[in-house]
A and B are shown apart, each in its own frame.
Chain A
Amino acid sequence: MTAEKEIVKSGSGAPVEGRETERPIRMPVDIFEDETGISVLADMPGVSRERLDIQIDNDTLSIQGKTQVSMPDGMEALYADVRSTVYQRSFSLSSELDGSKAEASLKDGVLALRIPKREEHKARRIEVRAE
């Protein structure tokens, strides 16, 4: 993951002369929870695995990606709904989630991220004993 971080940082972090700072796209997400953890699905079309950066630190999850779309030289824009090359969104996590065990996959521009709950926080069924 470290090598991937570098690419994103050097691409988006340093201000480039004469270029306005890009406002990132707040991509749509689905978030759901079940007994064992939380899942995040995010739409990030145009982002490849190498340009995706996910960080969990101090209970903050941040997802960032940069699009890379191949286009011929000298192309002029006729119309654009998408006006940024950067996706970015962050969430705060609660303490029962174990960020160190998070797993992510990316397919066709959809990021699927799974953050499991810590063992001791998994819901336990409490048996009621009959006396």
Chain B
Amino acid sequence: MFRSLSNFDGGLFDEFRRLEREMDQLFGAGSWPSGIRSVARGTYPPINIGSTPDQVDIYLFASGVDPKSLEISIQKNLLTIDGERRLITEEGASYFRKERFDDAFHRVVTLPDDVDPEKVEASYMDGVLRITVRRRETAKPRQIEVK
């Protein structure tokens, strides 16, 4: 019962941890080259990317963002997300902690080459922006029959 419950929503995250472990094993911690557009860990908003043969999904963990303030654009396989999150400071209150992000943000994601820039959908739920980009039909694996 526990297994099915955790698999239900933890599947991809397990996969992410596996990816991290494999990277460490392959390259040793910290010595592999960074992507030219990669950013420092902790950059807002955090992003996860997952793929299937049909599509690539980009998840931005951006809570409290007005979806209307988001500008998402794609050129070939380069996805750009601009947005901002401005917090309201309570007048007359004294702050003990101010850890939450309060600024404009900009992130660029390089997607696999076979994505179709015409087929992009975005939705925002519980503070997570999900962008789905379809892959081109021709790029999908095809069964070839031997006559």
Chain B interface main SS type: mixed
- Of A81, A82, A84, A110, which is in contact with the most chain B CB atoms at under 10 Å from its CB? A81
Q: A30-B87, A45-B62 are in contact. Are A83 and B96 (CB under 8 A)?
A: no
| Stretch of A11-19, A56-64, A95-103, A123-131 at the chain-chain interface | A11-19
Q: Which of A49-89 contact B (CB under 8 A)?
A: 66-85
The tally of CB-CB contacts under 8 A between chains A and B is 157
Q: A29-B99, A69-B59, A75-B52 are in contact. Are A45 and B126 (CB under 8 A)?
A: yes
Contact bitstring A20-48, B, C-beta under 8 A = 1, else 0: 10100000111111100001010111111
Residue B6 lies at the interface, judged by CB distance under 8 Å to chain A? yes
Complex Cα distance, B64 from A47, in Å, reads 12
Contact B2 A14 (CB under 8 A): yes
Residue in chain B with minimal CB distance to A49: B126
Interface on B for A, CB 8 Å cutoff?
1-3, 5-6, 9-20, 41, 43, 45-52, 54-57, 59, 61-65, 87, 90, 92-101, 112, 124, 126-128, 130
Interface on A for B, CB 8 Å cutoff?
10-11, 14, 16-17, 19-20, 22, 28-34, 39, 41, 43-48, 66-85, 107-110
